[in-house]
Amino acid sequence: MENHLAFSNLNLTSLIKGVLGMGDKTRFWIDLWLTPVPLREVFPNLFLIVKDKVCLTQSCFEVVDGNIVWKWRWKRSSLNQNETNELSVSLNMLQLVIVNNTPDRWIWDNDLAGVFTVASMKQILLKNSNMPVPFTIKWNSWVPIKVNILAWKAEMDRLPTYVALVKRNVDVGSTCRLCGDYEETCDHLLTSCYFAMLIWQFVSNWCNIPPIFAFSVRDLLTFHEYCNLGLKKNKVLYGVILTACWCIWKTRNEMIFQNKTANISKTMKDIKSILL
């Protein structure tokens, strides 16, 4: 089994996810528990300066008056800009964490019921055997980390879109609220939805580049590589595309959760305000 996994660029720990109870088994930085990959990969700069790289999650927090307070132990007393940025994103993410008095448990991350089956393992091996080099997102240091993370999750189809919720038996209907016409998947929402297409039209005009045509999130994330703009402008364009993805997702969330109307000019303003 390990040989098959190694051949497919996978390892077993990346397929098993910790479900946090009291934090007694999951290692905060190393194990998969909060994000789709271990926190050391999400926050590489922080991981470099953390004192105990294999610490258990329970040693990283205290509960004070019913609230979780995260404790950090760094190798040095002051943090640089990248580390500070990562820390603020990580604190935002950690706000979602809930702990309780039960032991941590492990679930199989590739089955909706969280139960290991030979069939699901076979599926993973088959899926990965055709992809010798998995896609890795390039982090863009000119935009906030949260923007990078959103694109990275979207590429892996890990955003809680309506289609993803329906797959998890959450009965919300699968239609995209922005257009009302198609099923809301990550690819639809960020590429083929009419709202996204208007945004990409705006981006190509604004950046003075050929029209952006994309059929998948991956197409969007690699588009800048084919524009021959030179290293610096390529990086800027990539930052604009990542930011536009973030703002489309934000518009969609504001529409659903705050009853706001989706408005192209407002979303364009948001994109500019993050970048300028």
Binding site for Zn ion (CB under 5 A): 176, 178-179, 193
CB of 57 to Zn ion, least distance (A): 38
- Of residues 29 and 195, the one with the C-beta less far from Zn ion: 195
Closest CA to 196 of 181, 209, 208: 181
Tell me the HSE value of 44 on the side-chain side, using a 13 A CA sphere: 5
- Of residues 195 and 223, the one with the C-beta less far from Zn ion: 195
- Of residues 28 and 162, the one with the C-beta less far from Zn ion: 162
The position carrying tokens 């069939």 is 119
What is the C-alpha separation between 154 and 249, in angstroms, rounded?
Answer: 10
- Of residues 52 and 181, the one with the C-beta less far from Zn ion: 181
- Of residues 179 and 209, the one with the C-beta less far from Zn ion: 179
Give me the phi and psi of 105, to 5 degrees please: -135, 170
What is the C-alpha separation between 214 and 192, in angstroms, rounded?
Answer: 8
CB of 3 to Zn ion, least distance (A): 43
What is the C-alpha separation between 77 and 72, in angstroms, rounded?
Answer: 11
Tokens for 27? Answer: 């290692």
Closest CA to 212 of 222, 221, 223: 223
